[in-house]
Amino acid sequence: MPRARVVINREFCKGCALCTYACPRGILVISRDFNSRGYYPVMVTDDEQCAGCGFCAQVCPDVAIAVYRE
């Protein structure tokens, strides 16, 4: 299985949660801390469980997510 990492730009994220539904591993959740714009951005709960599928980045309307694979 490839090693992957999800990077979320907290300032671009508006907390729409589309990525949380798209993630097959369920490792994305809405944060309890808001960003400078007053939104609750998404955060990754367990980087080790990321499969690197990129579904989260594909559904993000704000282009706030990048997935890096080795």
Domain boundaries, the chain: 4-69
Tokens of 42: 């998404």
* φ, ψ of residue 30 in degrees (nearest 5): -75, 130
Q: Which residue has the tokens 């949660």?
A: 17
The one-letter code for the residue type at 11 is: E
Q: Which residue has the tokens 């282009």?
A: 63
pLDDT score recorded for residue 60: 98
Residue 29 contacts by C-beta under 8 Å, 6 or more apart in sequence? 20, 42, 43, 45
Residues in the chain: 70
Q: Under CATH, what is the fold of the domain 4-69?
A: Alpha-Beta Plaits (3.30.70)
pLDDT score recorded for residue 22: 97
Chain segment 2-56, per-residue pLDDT in tens: 589 999 999 999 999 999 999 999 999 999 999 999 999 999 999 899 999 999 9
